[in-house]
Amino acid sequence: MRYFIELSYNGKEYHGWQNQPNALSVQEVVEKGLSTLLGQPIAIMGAGRTDAGVHATQLFAHFDTAVNFVPKDLTYKLNSFLPIDVAINRIFKVKPEAHARFDAISRTYLYRVALKKNVFTFDNAYFVKQDLDVEKMNEASKMLLEYKDFQCFSKSNTDVKTYYCDITYAEWFFKDDELHFVIKANRFLRNMVRAIVGTMINIGLGKISVDELHTIIASKNRSEAGYSVPAHGLYLTNIEYPEDIKL
């Protein structure tokens, strides 16, 4: 049987989602927990990779096993086994061909910018001291929907076959003492969201104009875009799948 597992994690202590040869990953601790509880080696495939320090409020992965278990019971046991910063939300059966990565229709990210120094959220949001022109930042965000090729925001030396992404939503809004950026697309390139946010902040600071974003995207050159904001403010918040993948 193939199962989907929905989980959340605080990425502070991890070197990203994907297994690493010499660093702790979220994938590693979840695989260890499943393998121990099911009594056989379990490999899981995630919906995507998050970089070191990035969080997820919702991520899906799939795994195969012939071991019979009650999903609700395994969810409870796995949560007891895993460290406090990784939580299993649910486990459910899917069709044998269902794939956590390739069947995903869309992914949504949130980036949190703190506008006020806060001793309780400093490691969950990126603090920006200067005033930001949010109207200009939203004007620039709307421009993202006009393009498909986002090579300028991609980490260099990646092994992707295409830099095309279909962005369907991108907006900045205030929430309490923070400024939040939410972006939704069918796929994202490595470091893409953090590079977009850094570029938008530069626009909000008046370092570059809104119109210059056209030139930056057309350049397909990472060095033309803004800086990459810190990982600790980034959250993967939602992944959508077709309803028919479930059994």
| Per annotation, catalytic residue among 51, 85, 123, 133 | 51
DSSP H/E element including 237: strand 234-240
Cβ 238 vs Cβ 205: under 8 Å: no
Angstrom distance (rounded) from CA 130 to CA 37: 50
Place of tokens 């806060």: 118
Query: What tokens does 237 get?
Result: 């918040």
Angle, CA of 194, 108 and 99, to the nearest 5° = 115
Q: Is 177 a catalytic residue?
A: no
| Contact of 146 with 169, CB cutoff 8 Å | no
Q: Quote the CA–CA distance of 90 and 228 in Å, as a whole number.
A: 33
Looking at the chain, how many residues does it have?
A: 247
d(CA 216, CA 225): 6
Rounded to an integer, what is the distance from CA 233 to the centroid of its chain? 11
Beta bridge partners of 7: 59, 88
Q: Is 15 exposed, middle or buried (0-12, 13-18, 19+ CB in 10 A)?
A: middle
Here the tokens at position 219 are 């350049």
Give me 229's structure tokens: 């904001």
Q: Which residues contact 58 (CB under 8 A, 6 or more apart)?
A: 6, 8, 89, 236, 237, 238, 239
The catalytic residue positions are 51
